[in-house]
Amino acid sequence: MSGRISRRIFLGGGAAVAIGLPFLESLVPRGARAQAMTGPKRIVFYYVPCGINGSTRGDFWPTDTGTNYTLSPMLMPLASLKGDFTFVTGLENPLAKPDGPGDHASGTGAFITCQHPFKSDSMVMLAPSADQLAAQQIGKATRLPSLQLGMDGGSSAGGCDSGYSCAYARNITWADATTPLPKLTSPSQVFDQIFAGFDATATSADRAKRAAYKKSILDAAIGDATSLQAKLGQTDKAKLDEYLTGIREVERELTTMPVAGCMMPATKPASSTDFPTQVKTMTDLMVLAMQCDATRIVTFMLGNAGSDRVYGNLGLTTGHHTISHHMSLPANLAMLQQIGTWELQQFAYFLDKMKAVTEGAQTMLYNSSVFFSSEISDGNRHNHDDMPVLFAGNGGGAFSPGKHVLYTPDSHTKVSNLLTSMLASVGVNTKVGDATGTLAEL
């Protein structure tokens, strides 16, 4: 690389500091370049509601194991990513089992805390979630210690499931035993938090002013990028261009969406944009947040616990939770297979976006570990064993994906052991919930 890069650019001066920059090898001092080639390590927790069901066992769960296993029909959206994820069968989350009815709320509360939620609609008692155990130790490395996102809003007050607080049903992130961390459900809010600062008290006029300021930031950033590109190697030039293109794409998508108030509404906010487009936009924002290193820890809820969303985009007219009580009826199982396949299409899009971001000799997906699951396994049985688990990414070299790992029921292998393995991959040696150790088979 010819020429010297100024201290201002290297430190992220001007517009660059406002929007963040991707990982660029050319900006790393020569002495530290070999270490930086690996890129930062990240962890992501991706939640889908109501379990996952197919019409037969082999529709979702593969029937053979090892590296040469056959993808089930529902996994086909992930076919091109087969070498990038591991299907994990047989994990249980025993402390998710409720006191009486309430599996959806209890299972969601235990999703990544792996602790037993206290049953009450007015008082909560749980434990820090895996993402926050990580944030306590590595969150200070980024401007946002963690990022909590989701598609459905709603207050944490009151009861949501057979005597369980809505705090359990609407949050998977817990700072401590009594403090759930609410998720952002507005793409505009997410964009502001990542790129232009977040102000929960901003008025409409404030937001309009910020929108104009945001445009000027992006315009100025392009000017900075133009001068910077002359000093970068060919790989970094392409990467910086890809990054700024991604920001422009998200900006374009946001202009078609209503800007909701900064306070989370008590009910699902109305939107003039279809749900699949909203999911895509939130997915793009998750990747951008990690790409600009605003955060390295992300949680995402595709819906709240027991979501009864009607997937009109799939031609369905009955809610997801209603269908999930399938009673083994072929018509219900066929609809659940449609929903599950669509969910895995969204997950595949997310992984593809991560894999498309290069970081030194590797990709963002290689440097990350991603946990995908639900609050229950079978929507009709409401069970918390044999959980539907996909585990993606290499954790920067800690894991070897591309296989189906099977744990037998008598092993009582826990979800918390997998989550503990994820934390270990980012240097956090803390056990999650009821974990007894890590999973060497990953």
Burial class (CB in 10 A: 0-12, 13-18, 19+), 100: exposed
Which one-letter DSSP state was computed for residue 197?
Answer: -
| 409 beta partners | none
pLDDT in tens, 336-368: 999 999 999 999 999 999 999 998 899 999 999
For residues 326 and 306, give the distance between their C-alpha atoms in angstroms, rounded to a whole number. 14
pLDDT mean over 54-80 = 91
Quick one: pLDDT band at residue 57, thresholds 50, 70, 90?
Answer: confident
For residues 169 and 172, give the distance between their C-alpha atoms in angstroms, rounded to a whole number. 8
Contact 126, 109 (CB under 8 A): yes
Q: Name 20's Cβ contacts closer than 8 Å, sequence gap at least 6.
A: 12, 143, 194, 195, 292, 293, 294
For residues 434 and 126, give the distance between their C-alpha atoms in angstroms, rounded to a whole number. 12
Amino acid in the structure at residue 385: D
The CATH code of domain 42-185+266-425 reads: 3.40.720
Q: Name 268's Cβ contacts closer than 8 Å, sequence gap at least 6.
A: 152, 153, 154
pLDDT at 15 over 50: no
pLDDT at 113 over 90: yes
Dihedral angle sign, alpha carbons of residues 309, 132, 127, 416: positive
What is the rounded end-to-end Cα distance, in angstroms, of the chain?
39
- Dihedral over alpha carbons 51, 55, 56, 61 (to 10 degrees): -40
Token pair in block for residue 440: 């060497």
pLDDT in tens, 126-158: 999 999 999 999 999 998 999 999 999 999 999
Number of other CB atoms surrounding residue 90 within 10 Å: 18
For residues 95 and 104, give the distance between their C-alpha atoms in angstroms, rounded to a whole number. 13
The residue among 255 and 59 whose pLDDT is bigger is: 59
The residue among 36 and 256 whose pLDDT is bigger is: 36
Contact 229, 237 (CB under 8 A): yes
Enter the pTM of the model: 0.80
pLDDT in tens, 274-326: 899 999 989 988 998 898 888 999 999 999 999 999 999 999 999 999 999 99
For residues 303 and 150, give the distance between their C-alpha atoms in angstroms, rounded to a whole number. 7
For residues 66 and 289, give the distance between their C-alpha atoms in angstroms, rounded to a whole number. 34
CA Rg value for the chain: 22
Question: Lowest mean pLDDT: which of 44-48, 236-240, 243-247, 277-281?
Answer: 243-247
pLDDT at 257 over 60: no
Dihedral angle sign, alpha carbons of residues 97, 99, 104, 110: negative
Q: Locate the domains of the chain by residue range.
A: 1-37+195-263, 42-185+266-425
Closest CA to 320 of 278, 272, 376: 376
For residues 315 and 396, give the distance between their C-alpha atoms in angstroms, rounded to a whole number. 40
Token pair in block for residue 272: 């003039």
Contact 205, 171 (CB under 8 A): no
Q: Helix, strand, or coil here: 391?
A: strand
Show the CA angle centred on residue 44, arms to residues 262 and 431, nearest 5°: 115
Token pair in block for residue 282: 């939130």
Show the CA angle centred on residue 366, arms to residues 365 and 368, nearest 5°: 65
Number of other CB atoms surrounding residue 319 within 10 Å: 15
Dihedral angle sign, alpha carbons of residues 99, 382, 302, 442: positive
